[in-house]
Amino acid sequence: MTVTVHKAEPAHQGQAIPSAVITIDAAQPADRSPREAAELHQRDARALATVLWTALPGATVDALLAEMLSRRASLLRVPMPPPEGSDRR
């Protein structure tokens, strides 16, 4: 899968915005502890965030965040049980 997007314009003359290539093809290690897995995911997330923050226009970053949160919103729509003794259903 290849996706091509527009990179940011420099804010100041002479400033260069680097092009970026993100390669997603490394297999996850099978024999890792939950802590090691969490650390791996955090490192990957930070690396992605850094390259996207550096290379994308701010409006694209905002739209990407909104798109990703929208895709996860279903997790937030699960109704919470009413407090004990509440009339709320």
Question: Does residue 42 lie in a domain region?
Answer: yes
Structurally, the chain folds into a number of domains equal to 1
Read off the pLDDT band of 70 (50, 70, 90). Answer: confident
Long-range CB contacts (< 8 A, 24+ apart) of 16-23?
A: 17/54, 17/55, 18/54, 18/55, 19/55, 20/51, 20/52, 20/54, 20/55, 22/48, 22/51
The CA distances from residue 68 to 64, 72, 75, in Å, are 6, 6, 12
Question: Does residue 85 lie in a domain region?
Answer: no
Question: Does residue 59 lie in a domain region?
Answer: yes
Look at residue 25 and tell me whether its pLDDT is greater than 90.
yes
Question: Does residue 72 lie in a domain region?
Answer: yes
Residues of the domain holding 55: 34-76
Give tens-digit pLDDT for 40-68. 999 999 999 999 999 999 999 999 999 99
Look at residue 76 and tell me whether its pLDDT is greater than 70.
no
Task: Write down the mean pLDDT value for the chain.
Answer: 89
Q: Within 10 A of 52 (CB to CB), how many other CB atoms are there?
A: 16
